[in-house]
Amino acid sequence: MVIREVGLLFRGFTLVKKSYHKTTLGKIDSDLRSGLLTALLNFAETAFSTGSVEYFQGNRLTIAFINANILADDSVEPELLISYAIIDKHKRIDKYVKKLVNPLLIKVAENFKAQYEGKNLSEVSQFKIYKKTLDIIFGSNTKKVDQKLAGLFY
């Protein structure tokens, strides 16, 4: 199981995204994709009213989500902050998401909030440095088996 991409969404836009392995065949506008992911998540939670949606599963990939709230400097109330991970589809995906991916996504959201709560979140270029934090949090979970083996021998 490999984590292919991780990121944070706020107000339908990508604040920060780190791709570890290609997830699409062509170029996709990241703002368009972020807006679609946010809308799908909001729709699913509203339509089914069962609490938060943990993941969407496709034929090849699964997108896991964690919802948090963050207060921006231009807002009086906390707003939705979505941390997500795109992972390979797996037979026992439910267990993998609950035991491994969700705790990492929670850690990402909490760490991001600790650094940026109450600040201007509209200037996304300031979050480029946060990609290093994503690397630290997700560590070897972003590597394929052959990459992990190569790291053992070199």
Q: Is 138 exposed, middle or buried (0-12, 13-18, 19+ CB in 10 A)?
A: buried
Q: Is 66 exposed, middle or buried (0-12, 13-18, 19+ CB in 10 A)?
A: buried
Which pLDDT belongs to residue 136? 87
As a whole number, mean pLDDT of residues 56-60 equals: 85
As a whole number, mean pLDDT of residues 148-154 equals: 49
Res. 148 pLDDT band, cuts 50 70 90? very low
Is the per-residue pLDDT at 107 higher than 80? yes
Contact present, 111 and 38 (Cβ < 8 Å)? no
* DSSP character string of 4-41: EEEEEEETTEEEEEEESS---SS---HHHHHHHHHHHH
As a whole number, mean pLDDT of residues 79-84 equals: 92
Percent of the chain predicted with pLDDT > 90 = 32
Is 3-153 a domain of CATH 3.30.450.70? yes
pLDDT digits (tens, 9 = 90+) for 7-50: 999 998 999 988 887 766 557 777 787 888 888 888 877 777 65
